[in-house]
Amino acid sequence: MTTVRRATPADLDAATALFGQYLRFYRREHAPAAVRAFLAARMDATDGVLLVAEVDETPVGLAHCYPTWSSLSLARAWVLNDLFVDPSARGTGAGRALVRAAKAEAAAAGAVYVALETERTNVVGQTLYASEGFVRDDENLHYAAPVGDDVETASPAPFSG
């Protein structure tokens, strides 16, 4: 059985391992201590939500989402910025449960929609997102530019999952 809940400090080790896999999927490497610190800050912050999916009480996936504003909608929107399920747990419904939990969190916070980005090659993810009501935007292009001195770390490509 798959369950999803907000991450707690007790989840930090498992979340760090899962997020490390997520980063490798997007060809990024960061020191485990930096990943752990980033996730600990997300758990403590009030500007977003870090969710954990469990199958039989074992953490197998995570999602990170946060609020933003939609100027075109004149309303609150949310970004599902990161979603990852351990390959051994794919097919358990964990990814779908995380997407649904993220949408529920957004709705409870008054958002009018949830947005996400994924790589063009992530066909499995795209199939899941489409089946959960996400509509692919073929009209707009998304751009990003690093603004810090550490261009390698700040480089937005690949942007998010």
User: Consecutive sets of 10 residues in the chain, 161 residues long: mean pLDDT of each?
Assistant: 94 96 92 95 88 96 96 96 95 96 96 95 95 95 81 53 44
Tell which residue, 98, 97, 54, has the closest CA to residue 80.
Answer: 98
Bridge-partner residues for 68, per DSSP?
77
Written in H, E and C, the secondary structure of 81-113 is EEEEECHHHCCCCHHHHHHHHHHHHHHHCCCCC
CA-to-CA separations, 69 to 19, 56, 78, 144, in angstroms, rounded: 26, 36, 8, 18
Render pLDDT for 41-80 as a digit per residue (tens, 0 to 9). 998 888 889 999 999 999 999 999 999 999 999 999 999 9
CA dist 70 and 131 (Å) reads 23
CA 98 to chain centre: 9
Q: Which two tokens stand for residue 72?
A: 């075109």
Looking at residue 148, its pLDDT comes to 76
Give the pTM.
0.90
CA-to-CA separations, 4 to 14, 33, 63, 104, in angstroms, rounded: 14, 25, 10, 11
